[in-house]
A and B are shown apart, each in its own frame.
Chain A
Amino acid sequence: MKKDTHITTAFDRDLEAIETHIMRMAGLVEEAILNAATALETRDEALASAVRAGDKAIDALEEQINMDAARLIALRSPTAADLRTVLTAMKIAGALERCGDYAKNLAKRSNVLAQMPAVAGSAGSIRRMAKAVQLQLKNVLDAYARRDVVLAEQVRQDDHDVDQMYNALFREFITHMMEDPRNISACMHLHFIAKNIERMGDHATGIAEQVIYLVTGSLPAEARPKADNTALMTGTER
């Protein structure tokens, strides 16, 4: 009884075009995150500059998705799952655009950090955290493409790990700064980077919630575990 395709095939083409743009955008964002983290670790200023320049393409895709969505709403009056497809595409594009901005900011700071003495071990930790978030994004976009609620829920739960990596880095940076005030400039930059990566994890979680809404028609009810408790830290705990 229920068919997957519309009687008007152009409707399907319009919806597919929006999803294709989302997947392309996600690909660019994942690449930007990994490249920015690599540039930080290897002090590769050319790669960092490429990441900064590449953000324009991500922004352009978001604009394209929003325009296509507005057009689809105006011309086709989508309802039910079709409507949710359009609404979630706009929100997911917005979340990906923010992730792109954070990656760009990371690249920018990595160029500044390249001028300073390295803080031992920090770039490797940042790269591992970036890798974890990139994997979260990859998983959530797989969940989106496959309409997989179970995987989306898994991504929501896994954000806990990213939060804990951020907590560990937060403590580490405070330790470095207290040990040697000459580390303060670098650690401040590194801390913003870690915080921005943690924010990307939150966006991956937000996308996971959009996938759940897309498939089920309602947002997940129960709260997810939050492990970012740095707002409560004084810097004196050991």
Chain B
Amino acid sequence: MTTETTKMTARSVQVFYGDNHAIKDVDVDILDNTVTAFIGPSGCGKSTFLRCLNRMNDTIDICRVQGEILMQGENIYDPRVDPVQLRAKVGMVFQKPNPFPKSIYDNVAYGPKIHGLTRSKAELDEVVEKSLRRAALWAEVKDRLHAPGTGLSGGQQQRLCIARAIATNPEVLLMDEPCSALDPIATAQVEELIDELRTQFAVVIVTHSMQQAARVSQRTAFFHLGNLVEYGETGQIFTTPRDPRTESYITGRIG
């Protein structure tokens, strides 16, 4: 299932790190129920742009963001928007699994608790179970929910982080190279999970693996030197790219 409903709209986005112009005038529409992959060589700006989508760049002092990023008509950079609330709606999963040094249960319960999303223990239990099920981890951890999250395997930890990110019931899920620290089997499980997740969320994934982008996404955006070079349907990008820079990159001719 893919829809053409736009979840987020970026217009004329510029990002500066001090004097370094890292993102140059990027326009992009992120579609709902769609996996959008950002690809490009290291330093092209794909992670920087991803981090604009939930204002993670706010934590970097020298970083300035211009232009607008709309989510359901509202500019997420509007001063009235609380970045903490925004990040509950736009969840994020990082490259290395980073569970809190807490139990599996508490890792998932943390977000709903601080955002006050549940009113009772029973309700919280339900959210934890539902999130772990959606993250395809429930069967493996249901008998040891109070064991430390850090005791799980790498692939399980990453799925725990996904469960944690979706526990606040976000609308968009950002993933910054979520499989680069995982083995091929765990990678396949996470990719399968990503395909499940898009039935409920808009998913945006940054990946260094073009094959992964080809496997999991329906839309692909190619970034190069801070520019969005080409954005289109994934099959089109990988078979008949329109821009010669895209072709050079995906066929392994520029690094």
List residues of A whose CB falls within 8 A of some B CB.
1-8, 11, 77-84, 217-218
Contacts and interface: CB of A to CB of B under 8 A. Distances in A.
A82 to B, nearest CB: 5
Given A2-B253, A3-B253, A6-B251, A80 B244 contact: no
Given A80-B239, A80-B241, A217-B240, A1 B254 contact: yes
Interface of B: 210-211, 214, 238-241, 244-245, 247-248, 250-255
Contact of A2 (B211, B214, B248): B248
B248 to A, nearest CB: 5
B41 to A, nearest CB: 11
B247 A7 contact: no
B250 A3 contact: no
Given A217-B239, A217-B240, A80 B245 contact: no
Q: Is the interface of A mostly helix, strand, loop or mixed?
A: loop
Contact of B238 (A8, A80, A218): A80
Contacts of B241: 80
A8 B252 CA distance: 7
A82 B239 CA distance: 9
19 contacts: A1-B244, A2-B244, A2-B254, A6-B251, A6-B252, A7-B252, A7-B253, A79-B214, A79-B238, A79-B251, A80-B238, A80-B240, A80-B247, A80-B250, A81-B251, A82-B251, A83-B239, A217-B240, A218-B240
Contacts, number: 48
Contact of B210 (A2, A3, A7, A79): A79
Nearest first, the 7 A-B pairs at minimum CB distance are A217-B240, A2-B244, A2-B248, A79-B238, A79-B250, A3-B253, A6-B252
Contacts of B247: 2, 80-81
Contacts of A83: 238-239
Nearest to A218: B240
Q: Which of B210, B211, B247, B253 has most A Cβ within 10 Å? A: B253
B239 A79 contact: yes
Given A83-B239, A217-B239, 18 more contacts: A1-B244, A1-B245, A2-B244, A3-B253, A3-B254, A6-B252, A6-B253, A7-B252, A7-B253, A7-B255, A8-B252, A79-B214, A80-B240, A80-B247, A80-B250, A81-B251, A217-B240, A218-B240
Contacts of A77: 211
Contacts of A82: 251
B2 to A, nearest CB: 21
B248 A1 contact: yes
A84 B238 CA distance: 11
A7 B210 CA distance: 15
Contacts of A81: 247, 251
A3 B244 CA distance: 10
A2 B245 CA distance: 6
A78 B252 CA distance: 9
B39 to A, nearest CB: 11
B251 A80 contact: yes
A79 B252 CA distance: 9
A79 B222 CA distance: 15
Nearest to A5: B253
Contacts of A5: 253
Contacts of B238: 79-80, 83
A80 B246 CA distance: 10
Contacts of B211: 77
Contacts of B254: 1-3, 7
